[in-house]
Amino acid sequence: MATVVALLLSTALFPPSAQAGRPARLTATPIAAGAYHNWAVASDGKLWFWGLTTEGQGGSVIAQPARMGDVGGVVAVAGGDVLNLALKSDGTVWYISYPGIQQVAGLSDVVAVDAGKGYGLALKADGTVWQLDGELKPAQVTGLTGIVAVAMGAYYSTMFIFSKQLNFMVFF
């Protein structure tokens, strides 16, 4: 479904008569929506942004998708309000805010990210969950192991556990 939406967005945003300097077509998967902005990862791993450059308070509007410099290797993106995260193919997590990007220190081997209002979650390959706040200091969520997926809303988060040994699923 995300691929279809991304293709529809890319066709609408970059028609064959695109402006000079813009690609004629952007194939983007995955995509993410933040509070007032959108993110897309192109098929070449480059990150694109459009929307408001701040949390709806002033700022400028980027109406056409703009590439985030030479940032590459992105495989997933999560849009929150002011905290947005990108996951690179090497398992590192990056804080993204148009037009900047900064690696989150002390966090590696990550397989999934999501963002909400003021904080984000990172799921590591070992099944542990790490929380990120506005200061970008990762802290492990204690008491949780075996997590296989994370999802966030503005004020809540959900984690998913599946136990092959016991054959059950749990949502938090």
- Residue range 76-88, pLDDT digits in tens: 999 888 789 999 9
Q: What is the CATH number of the domain that holds 120?
A: 2.130.10.30
Q: Which domain holds residue 143?
A: 2-171
Averaged pLDDT, 154-161: 64
pTM: 0.75
Domain count, the chain: 1
The pLDDT tens digits for 103-120 are 999 999 999 999 888 888
* pLDDT band per the 50, 70, 90 thresholds, residue 1: very low
- pLDDT, residue 28, reads 58
**Rounded CA gap, 76 and 170, in Å?**
24
